[in-house]
Chain A
Amino acid sequence: MDPDPSVHVPSDGELVQGCLHGDRRYQELLYSRYNRRMFGVCLRYARHRSEAMDLLQDGFVKVFQNLHRFRNEGALEGWIRRIMVNTAISLCRQRAFKDERLGMDHMPEGPIAPEAFDKLSEQDLLRLVQGLPEGYRLVFNLYAIEGYDHAEIATLLGCGESTSRSQLAKARRHLQEKLERISERTHERLASDR
């Protein structure tokens, strides 16, 4: 008889086995264990919260449908995270990622003052990432936060490495511009307060 997951805290392996046996309690436990972290991932890849909810739902549906393919060779969290990222990539592909262009090449890349951003909340930073155009957001998330290199990103997205580099550079410039604007407004506000 399976132990009651509400009393015994099962390991990831036990969770997987319970889910594969169709036990709804283990499935819910797996969801509740990882939903917060995965929703954070989805929020970074989505344009807004509503889209992140869709990503999270689709991602977990895929997780449960493909759980029998999990080989216990790595961490379950990493496996689920990859599914979430792939779900986000699929969504972006549907929106013709390659065709998206935004004229950002003229924007200068200058120094930034990190201390100006200390007061920015995570929600502010998240909003900046969500405000990136689709392609930039995808490459920036994959490279800067997930740690993929350009060759891997090119494989994942079906584009060239040069495209990945270019999109990353544009994403950085875009974010930098936004941050500088925030910085200027902050200085102005401080000056006006004085």
Chain B
Amino acid sequence: MNGSHPIDDLFRTRLGELEAEPPPGIWAAVAAHQGKGAMRPWYQRKRVGLAAFLLFFLGGGVWWLTTPRPTGPVRNIAHTVIENRSTAIQELPVPTAPTAQPKEPAFQNELGERPTAQPVPERTTAHAIRLSSSQPPLPASDPYAFAQSLQAHTDQLQAPLPMNVHTSPLMGTLAMDSSAVAISIPTRSWGRQMPDHLSTPWSHGAMEGQHMTRSAWWFALQGGVARLDGSWQGPGSEALNAAEKYQQGSELGLRFGRRWMNGFSVGSGLGMVQQDSRFLYQQTGTPTTQGSVDTTWSGTAMGVLTIYTWQLDTLFAEVPGTDQRWSATNRYTSLRVPLELGWRKDDGRMQFGTRGGLLLDVPMARQGNTLAFTGTEGVSEVVPLNDVRFDERFRPSLSAFAALELGYLVSHRWLVLCGPQATWQLGSPDAGAPRPRVNELGAWGRVEYLLSKRIIPASLP
């Protein structure tokens, strides 16, 4: 212990082990502050991560189920397009031998090369081909010849769209063992020739021989910042609006959706939104009156006697009440589920578009201060925001949003987008409790990944 100064001793002995009862709201504030940290139960801590995990795997599962895949080793074969199907069927003779020569490919293949050597068949389009019982079996020992003869039949009989032929042991067996057999080949196309006349935003360039899907899944990581324009509505809103000013917000989340050749897309996802506001409140204490009495003695010598007189001065002074001032940054955290519809146009690597939709915000946590109204006179009292009494103030809310998109195609699959966005909260306030209405105006950014390789204009390097 330092020194032995009497002042030190006095205060050490009297205040060294001082204990005092803190106000009951402190623990709630401490607990709320720790909500996102180590104090949170595991299921709350991992809720967001679990949601992102489920979203990722559900999205991946949908993509997996809806996307056809080849069943064997495949390579590309030249595409054959019949311009006029009815004419082709009428004019082309039915081959008498299964060893028909492959037709000259009309376009380059999807790698931009004309097939010089005999290409190995890729996948097949979906057509049932019935071979006549009079025809000899197809030569299954030579996959290429088999594929070409199959294509020749197909072209003449049914004139399919681009012809991708898939060879498999099953097909060879069928051809060898049966003189008359119906071969059913999966009807869904893995990739199709893009029609020249289709000049949609997504088909920019519409290059011959290019492959693209009619629609594709995309995943994106999106973030944004916004300036908030918020106000309270309902009972007590005047005092709340005077005390709390909404400031800024931020968002981070995952998005997924599907995009079509015509440029339209739909999407959804999951994100976390954080909104900050400034809470300032000052409460002036009740002034009190304090009185003090001063006594003044005076002595007057009267011969051998001294006569003492006194005068009492009573003074009353008004002591102002203690002002209490609360200052806090309120923070609201919500889970955001968007439902969006967009349209985008390509111009080289640049992308221009717009999108809009609905946002469902589900409040998750809040910290800071707010005003509680007690009694019939509506006396306000500052209390921690995370008090369960205020749950009814923060119900899930629905907003509409609109955004402009400006993007840059980094590669076949990766796209970087940004733009302004505005949101407007929908719905009317509940008459029973004050509700915040918060509109946003800000900017967003997105990194998007397309699950299907998209078309790239020929002018690009």
Q: Which residues of A contact B176 (CB under 8 A)?
A: none
Contacts A31-B30, A64-B37 aside, 19 further interface pairs with beta carbons under 8 A come to A24-B31, A24-B39, A24-B41, A27-B34, A35-B22, A36-B19, A36-B21, A40-B17, A41-B18, A43-B18, A44-B15, A50-B324, A50-B325, A56-B26, A57-B33, A112-B6, A122-B15, A172-B5, A172-B8
- Whether B38 pairs with A22 at a CB distance below 8 angstroms is yes
Q: Which residues of B contact A27 (CB under 8 A)?
A: 31, 34, 39
Q: Choose, from A85-93, A100-108, A142-150, the stretch at the interface.
A: A142-150
Interface residues of A in 3-60 (CB under 8 A from B): 19-20, 22, 24, 27-28, 31-32, 35-37, 39-41, 43-44, 50, 53, 56-57, 60
- Whether B27 pairs with A35 at a CB distance below 8 angstroms is yes
A155 at the interface (CB under 8 A from B): no
The residue of chain B having its C-beta at the shortest distance from the C-beta of A113 within the complex is B6
Q: Which residues of B contact A20 (CB under 8 A)?
A: 38
B409 at the interface (CB under 8 A from A): no
A156 at the interface (CB under 8 A from B): no
A154 at the interface (CB under 8 A from B): no
Q: Which residues of A contact B2 (CB under 8 A)?
A: 143-144, 147-149
B395 at the interface (CB under 8 A from A): no
B58 at the interface (CB under 8 A from A): no
Which residues of B are at the interface with A, using a C-beta cutoff of 8 A?
1-3, 5-8, 10-12, 14-23, 26-27, 29-31, 33-34, 37-42, 45, 293, 295, 324-325
Question: Complex: how many Å from CA A19 to CA B325?
Answer: 33
Q: Which residues of B contact A64 (CB under 8 A)?
A: 30, 34, 37-39
Q: Which residues of A contact B15 (CB under 8 A)?
A: 40, 44, 122, 125-126, 129, 145
A61 at the interface (CB under 8 A from B): yes
CB contact under 8 A between A53 and B12, given known A39-B19, A176-B7: no
Min distance, Cβ A40 to any Cβ of chain B, angstroms:
4
Q: Would you list 9 pairs from A and B whose C-beta atoms are within 8 A, ordered by A residue?
A: A39-B20, A39-B22, A40-B19, A41-B18, A64-B37, A114-B10, A120-B14, A126-B15, A148-B2
CB contact under 8 A between A43 and B20, given known A56-B26, A145-B11: yes
Q: Which residues of A contact B38 (CB under 8 A)?
A: 19-20, 22, 64-65, 67-68
- Whether A53 pairs with B23 at a CB distance below 8 angstroms is yes
- Whether B7 pairs with A61 at a CB distance below 8 angstroms is no
- Whether A56 pairs with B22 at a CB distance below 8 angstroms is yes
Min distance, Cβ A59 to any Cβ of chain B, angstroms:
9
A94 at the interface (CB under 8 A from B): no
Residue from B7, B10, B20, B33 having most chain A Cβ neighbours under 10 A: B20
Please tell me which one of the listed residues A39, A114, A172 contacts residue B21 in the complex, with CB atoms under 8 A apart: A39
